[in-house]
Amino acid sequence: DIQMTQSPSSLSASVGDRVTITCQASQDIRKYLNWYQQKPGKAPKLLIYDASTLQTGVPSRFSGSGSGTDFTFTISSLQPEDIATYYCQQYDNVPPRHTFGQGTKLDIK
C-alpha cells in the first residue's frame, strides 16, 4: 500500500505570509494527488486536483505542484478565512483506492 507523509502536522503563520505544506508518497504516484481544506465542524472541500489543477471557484492564492513522490501545496498570501486543516490525498488508478495524508492544521499567529 502507498503511504503518504504530510508535513508539518501544524503550522502557525501571519496574515499575508506565504505558506507551504508538503506531501511525500512512498512510491511514484505520477500526478495522482489532490488537496483538500477542512474547516472546523465542516466537510472537506476539494481545492487542487491532479497535483496542480485548481478546482473551479477556488481562489488563485492556492496552488499545487509536484509529481512522482514529492508534492507541495502553497497559499501565496494567507488570509484569515484560510484557517483550516489541509489534507493531501493520493489515488491508485487500478484499482481505484485512496490514501489521505495525516493533515496539517493551520492557524494564525
Partner 1 sequence: EVYLVESGGALVQPGGSLRLSCAASGFSFSDYWMSWVRQAPGKGLEWVANIKVDGSEKYYVDSVKGRFTISRDNAKNSLYLQMNSLRADDTAVYYCARGGRYRFDYWGQGTLVTVSS
DSSP structural state of residue 55? P
SS3 content of the chain, % helix, strand, coil (to 5): 5, 50, 45
38: contact with partner 1 by CB under 8 A: yes
Three-state DSSP class for 9?
coil
Establish if 37 lies at the interface with partner 1 (CB under 8 A): no
Contact status: 45 vs partner 1 (CB under 8 A): yes
Sign of CA dihedral 1, 5, 99, 61: negative
Shortest distance, position 85 Cβ to partner 1, whole Å: 8
Binding flag, residue 28, partner 1 (CB under 8 A)? no
* Residue 66 near partner 1 by CB under 8 A: no
Question: Residues in the site for partner 1, rule: CB under 8 A?
Answer: 1, 32, 34, 36, 38, 42-46, 49-50, 55, 87, 89, 91, 95-103
